[in-house]
Structure 1
């Protein structure tokens, strides 16, 4: 029995996690595949492992159980890669506590491609939604993959924006792939897979979501990405856990600023003060990397990165101070997009709200 099969089998035994596998590796002189060959009495002599786990190893240490695991994965169209496999994502292998096994539905080849993780609040505002969709689509049109967590809110719209673009998107789950959470995003998960993206998890089949799983999956979100963008987050948002992991992993951290009176932007504004790079356009992200962008997608005029902002600025210059409803009448945009654009223009110092949703050029 090889090492890959050993990791897969152990990962499916209830009660066995990272710490137990490490202890087994140390006891077996880092030849963990030898667990198949040692006798029962020696298994019971392994130190610092509970008797219950030792009994489980004895019970499930069989080709029959391993074959059943592989059969179930095949039925669910789920692939797996173990940490000793050459296909294991290189960026993920370098993090602290890399998963011994990752399960994948979709395109496994994209896991080593250049990508940006986008995270944020589940209680996204219209401004946050607009930013997530806009930035993710523009990055995708530059050939940059988007990584997020398939949660409601910012995660959802980051995936949607990426799907509207030309690159791929990767969803990292806090449950097993056959038990996706939240259920309302199952259609989005299927769309990601159908569009040559990938859905990944470290959790074996039939693993329901647990509160502890989500902080753990955040290390994978940042681990497979080349940088992390926080779109919208309160000061105690779970998205900031991803930032902590990113900093530990030596990844770039970006944040979109928000209104200083907005509770939902307080986390972003805080990490910007602490050193995260302020982002108001995709160029703020791209300039941090020496990357070759997707062919024929590097022309800013073709991408219209800031065309929406320019449209509104032109309207205000032409007509003077306008109520947001009047701005709406002069564009083909929806009200949420307009409010999001105006919010960014306020942050840039290019427009001012002079009261009651009336905006003017900041001269």
Structure 2
């Protein structure tokens, strides 16, 4: 389970910390910054979480022991946020998963990557186009990332796998040992054998609605750009595109007929600033020179601040409870209005979150939970 530079005890403590109640990617990073390691953070959790109305208990040791055994049994491994194989681009995304499990070739995540997503009930023409584009991108040395859903996702994976030199990354919303959708069981296994399969959820976890936006942020985070081939308005594919835009990545879309509802999402993206592309050459031209400044203007990046500042270990929590309501507010606004340091405000939010009194939202916003 452990890897170079990470002891087995610390690796186990990290998994236990992340699986504990009210701990998410941001609070996990802040706890590591404050206490230096997961072992120290776990020791402090009961006191931090016990300031509320009820006592706090971290994830049971035996539950984590069973999880670790399930990961081994599935032929998968853990990958931690600070290990060399952790995808560099994904690590730049706010709230990136601090621990994932994977099967396959982890080095694929370090190669140039394009995400390709789209409708589950895609048209035959769009499925054919997605398969061809993915094959051409893979042949040109690009890794194609997608979410293993029916329709465009599956076609993207299949097209990339059909290339003699390329490969693909599949990100799933379930545990690493659960095939979803069931009809893609063979495809998922092939990706694990020939490409890279990534899961954020613990083994044995069936996919739920809330898992899919989390999966989408990983897909968008892995890639220099996200291409939407065909999508209806308010679809999950548009969520992936929005997340890519917020992460400062390229957002691309294939235009379609306004008479087909499945094209309206792509046309909307283009109207809002996504780059219109029609061929693999268009995509490669756009993303091959990506230097962190996208040409697409779809969604301005959210305000950036350090979730785990270096001085968090020395900070005292600010008194900001009166500034919070059920309406989401940006953390940088809380810092501005309170007049406190960023570290003190972050520490106060951390304690509220551990006690189950805080909810985090997209774009660096928080509200009372």
Would you call these one fold, judging by a TM-score over 0.5?
A: yes
Greater length-normalized contact order (CA 8 Å, ≥ 6 residues apart): 2
**Structure 1 counterpart of 2:155:** 157
Residue in 2 aligned with 1:140?
A: 138
1:151 deviates by 0.4
- Alpha-carbon distance, 1:131 to partner: 1.2
Give, in angstroms, the shift of residue 193 of structure 1: 2.1
User: Would the alpha carbon gap of residues 217 and 106 (structure 1) be closer, same or farther in structure 2, given more than 3 Å must change?
Assistant: same
Cα distance in structure 2, aligned partners of 1:116 and 1:22: 27
- Aligned residue number for residue 334 of structure 1: none
Query: CA 1:251/1:19 → structure 2, altered by over 3 Å: closer, same or farther?
Result: closer
The match for 2:37 is 31
Displacement, 1:66? 4.9
Task: Name 1:312's counterpart in structure 2.
Answer: none
Aligned-residue offset at 1:56: 3.7
SS of structure 2 residue aligned to 1:191: helix
Post-superposition CA distance 1:26-49 (Å, at most 9, x none): 6x434332145x4xxx64321477
1:116 aligns with 2:117: no
* Cα distance, 1:10 vs structure 2: 2.4
Give the aligned CA root-mean-square deviation in angstroms.
2.4
Kindly provide the CA deviation profile for residues 40-63 of structure 1, in whole angstroms up to 9, marking residues without a partner as x: xx6432147777782244x42xxx
Larger-gyration structure (1/2): 1
Counterpart residue number, 2:46: 44
Provide closer, same or farther for how the CA distance between residues 23 and 65 of structure 1 changes in structure 2, counting only shifts above 3 A. Answer: same
Partner of 2:244, secondary structure, is helix
Within 5 Å, give how 1:156-195 maps onto structure 2: 156-165=154-163, 166-194=165-193
- Aligned partner of 1:304 in structure 2 is none
Determine the C-alpha separation between the residues in 1 that align with 2:50 and 2:254: 46
Q: What per-residue deviation string (whole Å, max 9, x for no partner) do you get for residues 111-152 of structure 1?
A: 111011000011101121111111111111111111000001
Aligned residue in 1 for 2:356: none
TM-score under structure 2 length normalisation: 0.71
State how far apart, in whole Å, the 2-side matches of 1:277 and 1:43 are: 46
1:24: how far off?
A: 3.9
d(CA) in 1 for partners of 2:190, 2:52: 43
Shift of 1:107: 1.0
**Match for residue 239 of structure 1?**
237
Matches within 5 A, 1:1-363: 2-13=9-20, 16-18=23-25, 20-22=27-29, 24-25=31-32, 28-35=34-41, 38=43, 43-47=45-49, 54-57=56-59, 59-60=60-61, 66-165=64-163, 166-194=165-193, 196-290=194-288
Q: Any idea what SS the aligned residue of 2:56 has?
A: helix
| Whole-angstrom distance in 1 between the partners of 2:74 and 2:52 | 32
Quickly say closer, same or farther: Cα 1:106–1:14, change in 2 above 3 A. Answer: farther
Return structure 1 stretches of 4+ with deviation > 6 angstroms: 48-53
Contact 2:230/2:263 (<8 A) preserved: yes
Residues in 2 aligned to 1:132 and 1:50: alpha-carbon distance in whole angstroms: 51
SS in 1 for 2:251: strand
Q: Which runs of 5+ in 1 are unaligned?
A: 292-363
